[in-house]
Every structure is written in structure tokens, then in C-alpha cells.
Amino acid sequence: MASCDFCGRTEEDPGRLLTWSTAVEHGRQQMFCTECSRTHVRSMEGKLDSEYW
């Protein structure tokens, strides 16, 4: 099971986890759910840490 580091949502279905995004912030890997990935894709492409979203 994984949990979204932004909204805290959890996902147990490995198939759905494929649509999640990962990022490395402050030296540790974070995971973001599909919804947060979609919402924040521009910020992610800009390599901004989630604390600035």
C-alpha cells in the first residue's frame, strides 16, 4: 500500500498505483496520487518542491 505525500490518500491497487507520480524531495522519495499529480503537474514539471505548490 502507498499513501499520497500531498493529500494523504492511500491506494492498495497496484494497477492504480501505476498512474501515481514519484518525486525526490529533500533526499527522500515521495509519492503523489493521480489527482494530485494532475492538479500539480505544472509545478512538478517546474521541479518545485510540494511545499511551494
30 secondary structure, DSSP code: E
State the DSSP H helix or E strand holding residue 46, giving kind and residue range, or none if neither: none
Least distance (Å) between residue 24 CB and Zn ion: 17
26 versus 39: smaller Cβ distance to Zn ion? 39
Contacting positions for Zn ion (CB under 5 A)? 4, 6-7, 9, 33, 36
Spatial contact of 23 and 33, defined as CB atoms under 8 Å apart: no
8 versus 27: smaller Cβ distance to Zn ion? 8
7 versus 41: smaller Cβ distance to Zn ion? 7
Q: What is d(CA 42, CA 22) in angstroms, rounded to the nearest whole number?
A: 14
